Amino acid sequence: MAVKVLLIEDNKPLSEILKNSLEEEGYEVETAFTAEEGLEKAESFLPDVAVVDVKLPHRDGISIMNELVYRTFYPLPIIVVSVIKSEAVVHDAFLFGAFSFLKKPFSVEELIKEIERAVKDVKERKYKRILIIEDDLALAEILKDELGKEENWKVEIAENLKKGKDLISPVLDLIILDMRFPKGEGTEIIKFLQSKPRWIPVIIFTAYKEEFFPKVKDVEGVYFMEKDGKVEDLKEKIKEIFEGGQR
């Protein structure tokens, strides 16, 4: 499958040259000439990499970087490009999460090198991030401690549905979800995830499978584990999901 690149660049001749050159190398490319158009195309195109000019009409490229990530709902690597490479501009670019910075003019070869480096970086992300949404804090802490023993697993806890929604972000790799809460039920999280462009795998960790299974049985990427099972079984299921690359 071709790597998808979104070019957000207001210089139309340059944008066309880069688009044609990248397409000749096998990339799938979409272009946008304003920040707002870039955000809209990011949501519909779902690029693997974004190349963003700093100077854009009405809004600068750096100011839209966080929104780009949330529109695509994925840890999107962003290559910032600019004719200016002052210390302040570079600092702001990396402060807002740029993967790399290229000063104009740059060659197509230089851009391709950064794109390939970005794609590789995403594929080889060191850490796997897990969010536990569970109102039984004693149980949640036990699970966090046990799962945290695995190399490169980072675990966070949300003790209610509101905090769970607040902590759901593009960098998550997995959610472990209880279904019964004092205010609401876990299906709210499933619906919340379904409203996003990209799915995050969910393990429903419950003692009430018979009650909740019919409500989510048709949702792909949802798995059930019994609360009275062994933590080792939960770990094995998580590894199976990670190794399968399910996202």
Instruction: Give the chain's end-to-end CA distance (angstroms, integer).
Output: 16
| Rounded CA separation 161/151 (Å) | 28
| Rounded CA separation 201/223 (Å) | 8
Instruction: Take residue 132 and report the two structure tokens written for it.
Output: 């536990």
List every span in the chain annotated with CATH 3.40.50.2300: 4-123, 128-243
Q: For residue 169, how many other CB atoms are within 10 A of its CB? A: 13
Q: Cis peptide before 105, with omega less than 30 degrees from 0?
A: yes
Q: Cis peptide before 214, with omega less than 30 degrees from 0?
A: no
Q: What is the pLDDT along the chain (247 residues), one digit of tens a residue?
A: 799 999 999 999 999 999 999 999 999 999 999 999 999 999 889 899 999 999 888 888 888 887 887 777 677 899 999 998 888 888 888 888 889 999 999 999 999 999 999 998 887 776 788 999 999 999 999 999 999 999 889 899 999 999 999 888 777 889 999 999 999 999 999 999 998 878 899 999 988 888 888 888 889 899 999 888 789 999 999 999 988 754 4
Is the Cα torsion angle 125, 191, 3, 241 positive or negative in sign? positive
C-alpha distances in angstroms, 234 versus 146, 172, 228?
10, 17, 11
Number of H helices, E strands in the chain: 10, 10
- Is the CATH number of domain 128-243 3.40.50.2300? yes
CATH class of 4-123: alpha beta
